Structure 1
Amino acid sequence: MDKVLIRRLRVDTIIGIYEWEKQLHQSLLLDLDMAWDNKLAAIHDDYQHALCYETVSNRLTALITEKPIELIETVAEMVADCVMTEFNVPWVRVRVMKPGAVPHADAVGVEIERGQ
């Protein structure tokens, strides 16, 4: 399976369940593995057959920052649904990390896989 990868996409947004969290922006780090047939893009050296990681990154940033969200689990599901429906990706792995959320841990997070 070919994949297009995005690593450590930083999105600053309002995220959290506590009242103090709802008053400030925090960073989320996203990793995505997206199934995509890269063969046509590679053979023809043609962008129109590629999955544009910049377009995907910009769309996900807009999605996550539209409104406050309480759970990183919600972020992961929103991201997976967006990538699969708007970009016709048949399978995606999404990891959402929240740095500094727990003392003595660099980050906490969730990872999900959706599709086939």
Structure 2
Amino acid sequence: MDLITLTGLRVRGNHGVFDFERRDGQDFVVDVVLELDLGPAAVSDDVRDTVHYGELASRLAEIVAGPPVNLIETLARRLVDACLADERVARATVTVHKPQAPIPLTFADVSVTMSGAR
């Protein structure tokens, strides 16, 4: 399998279990790895033969900016499902980072990684 990787997609969302997270929102960062056969696109040189990563980024951003969920696990699953909506994708791995998570200690990042396959 070949890979398409999208890293560092930063989108404002209102996810979290606390009222202030849902009210004020925060930035979420999304990384995606798609596993698929890129041979047809390499031969045809036609964007219609691959996953258009710009369109994928827009769809993922819509989900992150959309209706809030309590857990980034739920958000990650929705993003995986969106990636797998394209039948050419054999496997999708999504990491959702929540760098401003409400943790009363110094930390660099909190993230959840989920995968899904056909």
| Aligned-residue offset at 1:104 | 1.2
Contact kept, 8 Å, 1:36 with 1:51, in 2: the verdict is no
Contact kept, 8 Å, 1:22 with 1:68, in 2: the verdict is yes
1:110 to 103, 108, 112: 112
Q: Which blocks of at least 5 consecutive residues in structure 2 are unaligned?
A: none
Identity of matched residues, %: 28
- What residue number does 2:33 align with? 33
| Aligned-residue offset at 1:11 | 1.2
Q: In the alignment, residue 113 of structure 2 is paired with which amino acid?
A: E
Number of residue pairs the alignment of both structures matches: 115
The alignment partner of 2:110 has SS state of: strand
List aligned pairs for 1:85-104, cutoff 5 A. 85=85, 87-88=86-87, 89-101=89-101, 102=103, 103-104=105-106
Moved over 3 A (4+): none
Contact kept, 8 Å, 2:4 with 2:33, in 1: the verdict is yes
Q: CA RMSD in A?
A: 1.2
When the two structures are superposed, what TM-score results if normalisation uses the length of structure 1?
0.92
Contact kept, 8 Å, 1:11 with 1:27, in 2: the verdict is yes
- What residue number does 1:57 align with? 57
Q: In the alignment, residue 6 of structure 1 is paired with which amino acid?
A: L
Q: Which blocks of at least 5 consecutive residues in structure 1 are unaligned?
A: none
Contact kept, 8 Å, 1:15 with 1:22, in 2: the verdict is yes
When the two structures are superposed, what TM-score results if normalisation uses the length of structure 2?
0.90
